[in-house]
Amino acid sequence: MKQFLSLVIFLTISIYSFSQDNTIRGFLFNNENSEVVPFEKVVLIPTDKSQSIVGATSDVNGFFTIPKVNTGTYLLKVQTVEFKEYNKELTIQSKSSVTELRIDLIPMDAEGIDEVVISAETKSKTTEVLMSVTKLDKKGLERIPAVGAENDITAAFSVTPGVVTTGDQGGQLYVRGGTPIQNKVLLDGMTIYNPFHSIGFFSIFETELIKNVDIYTGGFDSKYGGRISSVMDITYRDGNKKNFGGKVSVSPFLAKLVVEGPLYRANEKRTGAGSFIFSAKHALLDYTAKDLYRGVNDGNGLPYNFTDIYGKLTFATGQGSKVSVFGFNNYDKVNYNSTAALNFKQAGGGLSWILLPGGGKTFIKGHLTASSYKTNFEEVGSQPRTSSIFGTDLGFDFSYFLKKESQIDYGIGINVFKTDYVTFNEVASKIQDQNNTVEIGAYVNYKFVSKRFVIQPGMRVQAYASLGTISFEPRLGVKYNATEFFRIKLSGGRYSQNFTSASTDRDVVNLFNGLLSAPTNVQANFITESGKLKNPKNGIQYSWHAIFGTEFDLTKHLSLNVEGYFKYFPQLSNINVNKLYEDIDDFSFEDDVYKKNFLIESGKSYGVDVLLKYTLNRLFLWGVYSYGKSTRWDGFTTYAPVFDRRHNINIVASYAFGKKKDLEVNIRWNFGSGLPFTPTSGFYQQENFDQGVTTDYTTSNSSGVGVLLGEFNSKRLPTYHRLDITVKKQFKFKNKTELEIVAAVTNAYNRKNIFYVNRVTNAKIYQFPILPSLGVSYKF
């Protein structure tokens, strides 16, 4: 720990060792509430026509920097779609200086906005690699049809190119061949272990608080570590630093409350301000489902109950540096008609900070967090399964800005966590373990930007101290701006992770989603698909990504993005469904694959994702087609995992009616080809042989019916498709309050999508039927 702190101090001090030059930097703020304004273009126009126009785009924290500015007089301009044009004359006289700016932008009347004047999104296309990433803000999330009259980030993730969801009830998200445990979810730098509730429509996140969401489906840079498939990076906004306000809403599914306001305001003596924000939501299905949704769950309605609470305090300086203190608590409980019950609890909190050292050229971010997660699953006829984790995370990130939007990012982090789980495999063999784990990760990432190229090499070193393993992970992203309208890009690298799922990913319906650190109880020998012998020491999972894509701006408002990907997983770990014996000396003669808790596997995934996006004033269209194929090798055979969906289509449309755009209609249609399943090849009469070898099996009473399974995952379920529609009507009042009425229909044409089939009785349970709902919210 002392060595870690010494390294952090060294990195912090080193920011002053870079060469000095003229730099203009600062933050963009919304003048109405003092919240930062991300992803907007700041332009510096010289009065000397012989000099070039330079500029920068504010990041998710509203921060921008323009380095290496020549002496002279400039016009600094910020021109956006949502705010009035900002102009300021600047004179740079010194040969080495830092000009600090706070830019307060005045919101524009929404009725007068018809098209973007300067688009930061358009600019980022030529200055960022943007490989396999979907960026959304609160407005973008609200375009996707609301389930139960409530917008949720789950809908955004499920329409992202390359994402496969296995259903509405306890459904999981699989990203380009990766399992749910291989997806990293961050909230303001803090790892969230289980982001989704049991009812697949809702996450633990509050849409009203979201400032930005970045969803990476592969090829992400060296900043992110600890997962081998995807990253969802969520940023919450701060509370209003000028005025008190909030939002209350109610629907058949849930009720929620958001309250925010200043702790203290800025004044002549104090340029900084403090704020708070608090949110809570609670499921109402216990009270509404039996009357409104009687046809679900054998007439018992929707058996879900959850509560989410979040709060944050922010203390900010006038120039943009800030410290935030936050905490959260989530609870989820579900009972499937007395046949199965599960619940989870998670809670945590911490600190996050943003520092802008005076006179330096570096931007510093950091966080210190702690959180816990515990889940319990009970099923009739089976032993209870439990899993828990407690972890702490300390991290620092540094950014040094170079000329022409080039920059160097580097950082270091340490994670300490404890896992404890008890589970049972398909033959009722108990699998139990406890682990204490320490991880240390460090990265450096360099982005070079020229007129034609964006080149982003990086390196991450992930040290798994408890396992004595160090993983070196090179990363690379490249974009070539062939023309103003056409761009070619590629990315890839090596990835690793410690976490393993405490349940098998072979089950289509998997309600128990525990997690644990990489197991050491794995087989000593693993034969690869090519026939080579490997000797794994532990269950750390690895992957290689290779992605190639193109971007084409067909018109000013219509864009096409096509990406082809290949993911190779040389080492995966999975619950051993074949375990029959305990790993003790009495069974030393048995093969490891019948007595180890976990098995090593490998896998491959490849496919093509196509995204067509159209945005013009009132109309938004989002069309996604994904083709994918995934295989797994378990040392004996190659099989298709349960998420191997060959074709997936998502179409989202949004249109705003009326002069004030206060009536909005959102539509989403999803189609997915059938998922793999293992067919039933026959049945047999079970015999308990209660009279030993003299039992007359021709006349004795059988103890039940046994099932003979066919080839593993050799058949496909029927296709899945569903139509969701949302209609929103807003009423804005003179006191700046707002009333919104939301009518929504989920599964509008009542498609019967398979959820579960009993192999013996052939009884079918379907995903949710048509679910109409009506919600009301009031924003004050």
Statement to judge: residues 10 and 148 lie in one domain: no
How many domains does the structure of the chain reveal?
Answer: 3
Q: What is the pLDDT of residue 308?
A: 96
- Asked if 764 contacts 754 with a C-beta cutoff of 8 angstroms, the reply is yes
Beta carbons within 10 angstroms of residue 62's beta carbon: 22
At 157, the pLDDT band (50, 70, 90 cuts) reads confident
540 assigned to some structural domain: no
525 assigned to some structural domain: no
Q: What is the pLDDT of residue 513?
A: 67
- Please tell me which of 141-150, 371-380, 650-659 the model is most confident about, judged by mean pLDDT: 650-659
Statement to judge: residues 228 and 373 lie in one domain: yes
354 vs 319: which has the higher pLDDT: 354
107 assigned to some structural domain: yes
- Asked if 35 contacts 49 with a C-beta cutoff of 8 angstroms, the reply is no
Lowest mean pLDDT among 6-15, 502-511, 539-548: 6-15
Burial class (CB within 10 angstroms; exposed 0-12, middle 13-18, buried 19+) of 35: buried
Statement to judge: residues 674 and 685 lie in one domain: no
Last residue of a domain, one of 712, 727, 761: 712
- Asked if 164 contacts 513 with a C-beta cutoff of 8 angstroms, the reply is no
Stretch 677-700: mean pLDDT? 67
Helix (H, G, I), strand (E, B) or coil at 321: coil
| pLDDT tens-digit map of 556-581 | 899 999 999 999 999 998 877 777 77
CA–CA gap between residue 117 and residue 271 (Å, rounded): 31
Statement to judge: residues 708 and 748 lie in one domain: no
pLDDT at residue 398 tops 50:
yes
253 assigned to some structural domain: yes
Q: What is the pLDDT of residue 728?
A: 94
pLDDT at residue 120 tops 70:
no
pLDDT at residue 255 tops 60:
yes
Strand residue runs (E) in 523-592:
526-527, 533-534, 541-553, 558-575
Question: What does 157-196 look like in DSSP terms, one character per residue?
Answer: HHTSTTEEE--SBS--EEETTB-GGGEEEEETTEE-S--B
The residue among 282, 219, 271, 778 whose CA lies nearest residue 544 is 219
Lowest mean pLDDT among 76-85, 322-331, 589-598: 589-598
- Asked if 29 contacts 103 with a C-beta cutoff of 8 angstroms, the reply is yes
Residues in the chain: 780
pLDDT at residue 33 tops 80:
yes
Structure tokens at 26: 């600062």
The residue among 541, 402, 403 whose CA lies nearest residue 464 is 541
At 696, the pLDDT band (50, 70, 90 cuts) reads low
> What percent of the chain is modeled with pLDDT above 90?
41
pTM of the model: 0.87
Backbone region of residue 103 per phi and psi (left: phi > 0; alpha: psi in -120 to 50; beta: other values): beta
293 assigned to some structural domain: yes
Structure tokens at 318: 């006038």
Stretch 241-252: mean pLDDT? 93
> Which residues sit opposite 345 in a β-bridge?
331, 374
Last residue of a domain, one of 695, 712, 729: 712
Stretch 640-668: mean pLDDT? 93
CA–CA gap between residue 653 and residue 614 (Å, rounded): 9
Statement to judge: residues 663 and 692 lie in one domain: no
pLDDT at residue 344 tops 70:
yes
Statement to judge: residues 493 and 619 lie in one domain: yes
Stretch 642-658: mean pLDDT? 93
Statement to judge: residues 671 and 766 lie in one domain: yes
Question: Across the chain, what does the average pLDDT equal?
Answer: 84
CA–CA gap between residue 59 and residue 37 (Å, rounded): 8
Statement to judge: residues 192 and 104 lie in one domain: no
Could you say which DSSP state residue 719 is in? P
Stretch 104-110: mean pLDDT? 79
Stretch 296-319: mean pLDDT? 82
Full residue range of the structural domain in which residue 96 is found: 2-115
514 assigned to some structural domain: no
Stretch 706-728: mean pLDDT? 86
Statement to judge: residues 340 and 465 lie in one domain: yes
127 assigned to some structural domain: no
CATH number of 630's domain: 2.40.170.20
The residue among 664, 655, 661 whose CA lies nearest residue 732 is 661
- Asked if 305 contacts 341 with a C-beta cutoff of 8 angstroms, the reply is no
317 assigned to some structural domain: yes
- Asked if 748 contacts 724 with a C-beta cutoff of 8 angstroms, the reply is yes
pLDDT at residue 330 tops 80:
yes
At 286, the pLDDT band (50, 70, 90 cuts) reads confident
Statement to judge: residues 671 and 706 lie in one domain: no
Q: What is the pLDDT of residue 2?
A: 56
pLDDT at residue 539 tops 90:
no
Residue showing tokens 């469904």: 577
| pLDDT tens-digit map of 174-217 | 999 998 889 999 998 888 988 888 776 788 999 999 988 999 99
Q: What is the pLDDT of residue 422?
A: 78
pLDDT at residue 699 tops 80:
no
- Asked if 600 contacts 623 with a C-beta cutoff of 8 angstroms, the reply is no
509 vs 452: which has the higher pLDDT: 452
> Which residues sit opposite 474 in a β-bridge?
459
pLDDT at residue 336 tops 70:
no
Structure tokens at 327: 């905490």
At 459, the pLDDT band (50, 70, 90 cuts) reads very high
Q: What is the pLDDT of residue 714?
A: 87
Stretch 665-678: mean pLDDT? 92
Lowest mean pLDDT among 95-104, 405-414, 586-595: 586-595
Q: What is the 3-state secondary structure (H, E, C) of 616-685?
A: ECCEEEEEEEEEEEEEEECCCCEECCCCCCCEEEEEEEEEEECCCCCEEEEEEEEEECCCEECCEEEEEE
CATH number of 65's domain: 2.60.40.1120
Statement to judge: residues 193 and 314 lie in one domain: yes
Q: What is the pLDDT of residue 116?
A: 39
Statement to judge: residues 600 and 646 lie in one domain: yes
Structure tokens at 54: 């330079």
Question: What does 352-392 look like in DSSP terms, one character per residue?
Answer: EEEE--TT-SEEEEEEEEEEEEEEEEEETTS--EEEEEEEE
365 vs 286: which has the higher pLDDT: 365
Those residues whose C-beta lies under 8 Å from the C-beta of residue 5, and which sit 6 or more positions away, are none
| pLDDT tens-digit map of 540-552 | 999 999 999 999 9
Those residues whose C-beta lies under 8 Å from the C-beta of residue 488, and which sit 6 or more positions away, are 479, 480, 482, 549, 550
Residue showing tokens 């959180």: 371
Stretch 669-684: mean pLDDT? 86
Q: What is the pLDDT of residue 11?
A: 55
pLDDT at residue 145 tops 70:
yes
Stretch 149-166: mean pLDDT? 84
pLDDT at residue 333 tops 70:
yes
